[in-house]
């Protein structure tokens, strides 16, 4: 996992900064019992932030794909809440692949439910490609 | 329920051409009992959210949801998505409850996820209902888009349904999309269509048929079902009689045959691609439990739950598998 390669930070503070984690952290800062982090896989993600530039690019692509008013899409926006169906999601992932010159595997594409998820997936794929 | 069916029936006109016992039962307002379909029948129920705009039905609908559904409803951030979710859940609950003859209350129904995440009815045990009661042999599937919610009920062992607005926009180059996600044969058929609108329609037909298969076996299109289920369309041979294969819906003038090539699945599936109101494409994927020669039968109904049920005639079959 590429996430360990950059400067390490204490686990609890990294998780506290994560904008889309839901629910409260246990006092040991390690186990998270609910929210996005549980539903998108059993891996414990140490870094759940994507660069703002990545998030912005995703927002731009999603806004265009779904023909939504500019400014309506945020990092924590859920695709479902934005009115995206399964075809929209596939088109969005394909547009992101083209924009960032990456390949997203099928499992990864299914796991994303928010803009933030997509941005993190992209950064993971970009760092793998390097 | 607080509704008086008798009062509602008095206010609504009977439909002028009931075609069967089933239709006679549902021609007035909304009945409390529906005859379950056989394994060769599919009942397709259509709910247009734009027709549900009065406050009072929406309020009483909420009381039918389970606690979990109500909390999900509250968390929805978007009013349209919220309404879509509410209407989808109560459509499923109210319909299935009616197929039990009202024995199981709409709110009391429980659901579970089966293999590959497929939503299924979890019937109450006989000890809770009564030893002589057995659940109707039905399976269901529901699909929704902003402007239409559809629910298929059948006596067959599996069914999948999807709904797409016919005029939805696609933004990707469809050949590029096809080369990435579809089979070679499908790309070849797409490439033969040079007119953009025809190519888009064909693409959407492929997409929705794949989705209906994905919904029949699991919870929609996931990774491999996109490529595993491949479809080819061909002219409907003049030697074939449409009504020998499908009744209950008219064939489109240019109805086509659907040839399904499905990997890793030895089951027999019947595909029908419907178009409703010239605005929505609705594919059906039904399991052929027995390979008899009888035609499949469709009953397409329009509903405003607890208010009105009526036959829906603005439907054609664009294509089907033989």
User: Look-up: residue for tokens 């605005």?
Assistant: B279
When pLDDT is averaged across residues A66-93 and rounded to a whole number, the result is 89
Please write the tens of the pLDDT for every residue from B56-84: 677 789 999 999 999 999 988 888 889 99
Locate the domains of chain A by residue range: 4-46, 52-129
> Residue B191: helix, strand or coil by DSSP?
helix
Judged against a pLDDT cut of 90, whether residue A12 lies above it is answered with no
Whether B36 and B136 have beta carbons less than 8 Å apart is answered as yes
- Whether A81 is catalytic is no
DSSP A37-55: HHHT-SSPPS-----HHHH
Report chain B's mean pLDDT, rounded to a whole number: 87
A72: nearest CA in chain B? B78
Which pLDDT band, with edges at 50, 70 and 90, does B109 fall under?
very high
Pairing of the two strands B269-276 and B315-320:
antiparallel
Cβ separation B172–A85 shorter than 8 A: no
Which pLDDT band, with edges at 50, 70 and 90, does B24 fall under?
very low
Which pLDDT band, with edges at 50, 70 and 90, does A105 fall under?
confident
HSE (side-chain half, CA atoms, 13 Å) at A15: 21
Whether B94 and B106 have beta carbons less than 8 Å apart is answered as yes
> Residue B185: helix, strand or coil by DSSP?
helix
Whether B84 and B149 have beta carbons less than 8 Å apart is answered as yes
How far is B197 from B87, CA to CA, in rounded Å? 32
HSE (side-chain half, CA atoms, 13 Å) at B290: 9
Whether B42 and B289 have beta carbons less than 8 Å apart is answered as no
pLDDT of residue B150: 98
Whole-structure pTM value: 0.81
When pLDDT is averaged across residues B150-166 and rounded to a whole number, the result is 96
Question: Residue B164's closest CA among B317, B301, B273?
Answer: B273
Whether A103 and A97 have beta carbons less than 8 Å apart is answered as yes
Judged against a pLDDT cut of 80, whether residue A7 lies above it is answered with no
Please write the tens of the pLDDT for every residue from B237-294: 988 999 999 999 999 999 999 999 998 887 889 999 999 999 999 999 999 987 677 8
> Residue B109: helix, strand or coil by DSSP?
coil
How far is A102 from A125, CA to CA, in rounded Å? 6
For residue A81, the distance in angstroms to the closest alpha carbon of chain B comes to: 6
Judged against a pLDDT cut of 50, whether residue A35 lies above it is answered with no
Report chain A's mean pLDDT, rounded to a whole number: 70
- Which CATH superfamily hosts domain A52-129? ACP-like (1.10.1200.10)
For residue B87, the distance in angstroms to the closest alpha carbon of chain A comes to: 16
In this prediction the ipTM stands at 0.81
pLDDT of residue B179: 92
How far is B168 from B79, CA to CA, in rounded Å? 21
Residue A106 forms contact with B (CB below 8 Å): yes
When pLDDT is averaged across residues B87-103 and rounded to a whole number, the result is 95
Residue B178 forms contact with A (CB below 8 Å): no
Q: Which residues contact residue B26 at a Cβ distance below 8 angstroms, ignoring those fewer than 6 apart?
A: B34, B301, B309, B310, B311
For residue B96, the distance in angstroms to the closest alpha carbon of chain A comes to: 25
Whether B229 and B213 have beta carbons less than 8 Å apart is answered as yes
Judged against a pLDDT cut of 80, whether residue B205 lies above it is answered with yes
Of B80, B172, B223, the CB nearest to A106: B223
Question: Residue B41's closest CA among B137, B126, B117?
Answer: B137
């Amino acid at each position: 996992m590429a996430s360990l390669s950059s400067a390490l930070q204490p686990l609890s503070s990294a998780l506290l900064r994560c904008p889309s984690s839901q629910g409260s952290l246990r006092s040991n800062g390690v186990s998270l019992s609910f929210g996005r982090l549980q539903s998108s896989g059993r891996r414990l993600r140490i870094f759940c932030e994507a660069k703002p530039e990545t998030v912005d690019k995703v927002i731009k692509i999603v806004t265009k794909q779904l023909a939504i008013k500019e400014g309506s899409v945020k990092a924590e926006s859920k695709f479902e809440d934005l009115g995206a169906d399964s075809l929209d999601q596939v088109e969005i992932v394909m547009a992101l692949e083209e924009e960032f010159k990456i390949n997203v595997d099928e499992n990864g594409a299914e796991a994303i439910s928010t803009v933030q998820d997509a941005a993190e997936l992209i950064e993971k794929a970009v760092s793998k490609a390097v | 329920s607080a509704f008086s069916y008798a009062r509602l029936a008095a206010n609504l006109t009977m439909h002028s051409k009931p075609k069967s016992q089933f239709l006679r039962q549902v021609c007035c307002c909304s009945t409390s009992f529906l005859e379950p379909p056989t394994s060769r029948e599919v009942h397709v129920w259509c709910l247009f959210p734009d027709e549900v705009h009065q406050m009072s039905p929406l309020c009483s609908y909420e009381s039918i949801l389970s606690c979990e559904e109500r909390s999900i409803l509250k968390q929805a951030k978007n009013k349209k998505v919220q309404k879509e979710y509410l209407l989808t859940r109560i459509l499923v609950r109210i319909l299935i409850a009616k197929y039990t003859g009202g024995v199981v209350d709409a709110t009391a129904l429980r659901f579970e996820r089966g293999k590959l995440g497929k939503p299924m009815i979890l019937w109450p045990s006989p000890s809770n209902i009564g030893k002589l009661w057995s659940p109707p042999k039905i399976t269901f599937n529901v699909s929704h888009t902003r402007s239409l919610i559809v629910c298929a009920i059948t006596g067959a062992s599996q069914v999948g349904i999807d709904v797409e607005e016919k005029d939805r926009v696609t933004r990707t180059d469809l050949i590029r999309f096809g080369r990435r996600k579809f089979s070679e044969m499908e790309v070849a058929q797409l490439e033969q269509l040079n007119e953009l609108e025809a190519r888009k329609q064909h693409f959407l037909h492929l997409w929705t048929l794949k989705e209906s298969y994905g919904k029949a076996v699991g919870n929609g299109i996931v990774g491999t079902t996109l490529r595993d289920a491949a479809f080819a369309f061909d002219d409907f041979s003049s030697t074939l009689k449409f009504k020998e294969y499908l009744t209950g819906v008219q064939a489109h003038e240019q109805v086509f045959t659907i040839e399904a090539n499905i990997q890793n699945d030895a089951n027999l599936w019947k595909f029908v691609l419907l178009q409703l109101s010239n605005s929505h494409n609705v594919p059906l994927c039904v399991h052929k439990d027995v390979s008899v020669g009888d035609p499949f039968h469709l009953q397409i109904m329009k509903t405003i739950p607890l208010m009105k049920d009526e036959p829906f005639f603005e439907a054609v079959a664009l294509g089907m598998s033989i």
